[in-house]
Structure 1
């Protein structure tokens, strides 16, 4: 979706870099490989996310081959599999529970990754609709790591390529006004 089209759905209350408005979570992916250097720049951005005491609790497990993607599909719920099977890259994001701020820090790494993806002409879609225990078992994830999300990464396809019931939702979502998010002095 072009920046001009996104403006139909998203307007900032205050001027910000367009990358923040252009980042959304499409579901339609082209079956087109992401070049290694492009993909690694996305993960390089995540690498530089801030973290408490510089513990960097995030780890990514990637699936880029058909065989690895099918392994990931085994723990992704059917509804998400209907659209994510075309994504050329899947990543499971995990966080080291020994870091007390692991969930906060890993969310920051995901944010950096998603913003760099926009700059690279890619789309991302993080999903919670998967079986965490099966992902842990399938990918041999140690117990001291929390399994956070599965992220689909690739190039955006046409909404018409999605199952019909997904198509109306294939547009950027808006956000609540800033005045409903910020409270002065106490929660109101």
Structure 2
């Protein structure tokens, strides 16, 4: 698969086989994250690999609790749209996903957090694309609020000076996810001026 095929094929997978991800494949995927660009070459990330069933179960319980509350506040059309794409407030399935990766980052003094957060997301994108190239499915989980992140940090014993950008769900896809729509280039690109 060439690079542009990988980019076009990447999907948010929400149904995974319980088949383990071989260590050598996981290492290659993580190494792609390591090579991401970062502001000032800070390389601010730390990847926590979570495969323990008990830890994944605790994370799934917290994510379900916060997701349920958030979905209750969504406008009906938002909930319908997400549900049609396979989304749900029920995150209990996270407990059975072969690998969760907590992408953490710390902000060096004198640097703006958005630069460092952006750097962490560059690593996330590299990981997602590498996973696709390896035949894996992936999906990001972002926190609904700071309290949810705080509770996940406690479980994972993340130091106080680190944040979690996202949890990446990783494994072999049970089914081919539907192709999402994308805006046409003419809708999102302009030259010289907005």
Same fold per superposition (TM over 0.5): yes
In 2, the alpha carbon distance for the partners of 1:80 and 1:33 equals 23
Where do residues 28-107 of structure 1 align in structure 2 (5 Å cutoff)?
28-78=15-65, 79-98=89-108, 99-100=111-112, 101-107=115-121
Distance 1:111 1:138, change over 3 A: same
Q: CA deviation at 1:158?
A: 3.4
Q: CA deviation at 1:57?
A: 0.8
1:57-109 alpha-carbon deviations (Å, 9 max, x no partner): 11111211212322322432252514433310011111112253211111110
Aligned to 1:164: none
After TM superposition, the structure 1 stretch with the greater mean CA deviation from structure 2, 67-76 or 171-180, is 67-76
Q: Which runs of 4+ in 1 moved over 4 A?
A: none
Q: Secondary structure at the match of 1:21?
A: helix
Q: CA deviation at 1:177?
A: 1.0
CA RMSD of aligned residues (A): 2.0
TM-score (norm 1): 0.79
Choose which of 131, 136, 156 in structure 2 pairs with 1:117: 131
TM-score (norm 2): 0.76
Residues 15, 175 of structure 2: 8 Å contact kept: yes
Gaps of 5+ in 1: 4-15, 160-169
Q: CA deviation at 1:129?
A: 4.3
Aligned length: 163
